[in-house]
């Protein structure tokens, strides 16, 4: 694995049971480095770890607030192995990578394989993931955007602030659920975070 921009690495795997449920390609990555963060938070690849929860693949995949519980578009067999700095999730589905838009709950095809995904990380990460490298996050943090990028008002400007990853994930999931059935152009009231 040749990713020069790793700024944080997970400790050795301590969740060996979850490794038995993963596809060989992902097991190979986690055996080499048990999850990692690139460019100080641009992307986080989860590890086979029990703790910390924000890094735990088990928590994101099988936990009580797993992504298939939070989002209707995600199935229990989709493996949420990574997330970008804004909380959009990358899921492994039958060997292919899909992106879950955290604000809307929409799932789209991203790339053909985990190896193609990792190859993209070795290149121009900003273009590949559509992220900015201007932000520095601590491990366990994501950027919270206000107003959400999916609303018209975001075109005027959005404030971004680091928050605990779990908090951002739950806010996005709740918002996506609330707007899921609304037609485009519907007015919604969004209260700023405290």
Burial class (CB in 10 A: 0-12, 13-18, 19+), 40: middle
Contacts of 130 (CB under 8 A, 6+ apart): 84
Cα–Cα dist 140/137, whole Å: 8
Residue 51 within a domain:
yes
**Pair 147, 157: CB distance under 8 Å:** no
Q: Are 125 and 118 in contact (CB under 8 A)?
A: no
pTM above 0.95, yes or no: no
Question: What pLDDT sits at residue 33?
Answer: 94
Evaluate whether residue 193 is within a structural domain.
Answer: no
Mark out the alpha helices in 85-129 (DSSP H runs): 114-121, 125-129
Q: Give the pLDDT of residue 159.
A: 76
Q: Which residue, chain included where needed, has tokens 């707007």?
A: 179
Q: Say if 188 falls within a structural domain.
A: no
DSSP assignment, residue 111?
E
Q: Is residue 191 part of a domain?
A: no
Q: What is the pLDDT of residue 93?
A: 97
Question: Which residues of the chain fall below pLDDT 50?
Answer: none
CB 143 within 8 Å of CB 135: yes
**pLDDT tens digit string along 144-166?**
886 665 555 555 666 789 999 99
Domains: count for the chain: 1
Cα dihedral sign, 160-161-166-167: negative
pLDDT at 47: 97
Whether 114 maps to a domain, the answer reads yes
Residue 165 lies in a domain: yes
What is the Cα–Cα distance from 158 to 152, expressed in whole angstroms?
Answer: 11
Return the pLDDT at 160: 82
Q: Which domain holds residue 82?
A: 6-179
Q: Is the residue at 184 inside a domain?
A: no
Angstrom CA distances, 17 to 20, 49, 78, 149, stand at 6, 10, 17, 37
Provide the pLDDT for residue 145: 80
In a domain, 95, yes or no: yes
């Amino acid at each position: 694995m040749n990713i020069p921009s790793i700024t944080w690495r997970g400790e050795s795997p301590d969740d060996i049971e979850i490794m038995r449920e993963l596809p060989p390609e992902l097991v190979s990555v986690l055996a080499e480095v048990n999850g990692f963060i690139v460019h100080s938070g641009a992307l986080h690849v989860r590890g086979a770890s029990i703790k910390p929860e924000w890094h735990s693949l088990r928590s994101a995949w099988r936990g009580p607030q797993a992504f298939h519980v939070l989002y209707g578009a995600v199935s229990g067999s989709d493996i949420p192995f990574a997330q970008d700095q804004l909380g959009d999730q990358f899921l492994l589905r039958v060997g292919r990578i899909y992106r879950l838009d955290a604000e809307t709950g929409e799932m789209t095809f991203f790339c053909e394989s985990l190896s193609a995904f990792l190859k993209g990380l070795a290149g121009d990460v900003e273009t590949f993931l559509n992220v900015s490298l201007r932000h520095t996050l601590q491990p366990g943090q994501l950027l919270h955007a206000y107003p959400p990028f999916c609303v018209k008002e975001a075109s005027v400007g959005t404030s971004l602030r680091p928050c605990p990853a779990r908090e951002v994930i739950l806010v996005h999931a709740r918002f996506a659920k609330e707007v899921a059935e609304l037609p485009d152009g519907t007015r919604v009231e969004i209260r700023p975070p405290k």
